[in-house]
Structure 1
């Protein structure tokens, strides 16, 4: 992946990810903002009874970008640092 992203040549969308805390198993998990989980992914606790707590200081915004030529997606932090690398060979189309 290139060191800088030309947002005029890629399709992109912001994704907010929240760090959550389950009071039952005392574990941290992550969920997409606006798409809350119904059960704890670690212990299976139903959140109807015990709502998880959002660690507001640790939410991050990521960008989902799609290469318009290859269709290969990549996820990067808003500051541009890659989080998930594109598939092998994706950078050969430049």
Structure 2
């Protein structure tokens, strides 16, 4: 399933540093999750990720501990059939399993 995550970022500089560290260590994409889209606001106070995962709970269980103190997160299942939903080309093709 597809899961959207909206992050309300507490400190943009700390957030950016945490992402850079996670990227360097190879931990940017937690086990069991496939990151399809990641965008950040120009002011650095919001971000959005689109994940492929088993469930919303799996995403929440992975990301909440990683972002504690950095952001407040909202998670939602994506309605792929909604007429206004535009997805990356063939998100199914980038699934690892």
* Superposed pair shares fold, TM > 0.5: no
Which of structures 1 and 2 has the larger relative contact order (alpha carbons within 8 angstroms, sep 6+)? Answer: 2
Question: Normalized per residue, which structure has more strand?
Answer: 1
Q: Which has the higher helix share?
A: 2
What TM-score comes out, normalization by structure 1 length? 0.30
Quick check: which has more Rg, 1 or 2?
1
TM score, norm. by length of structure 2: 0.30
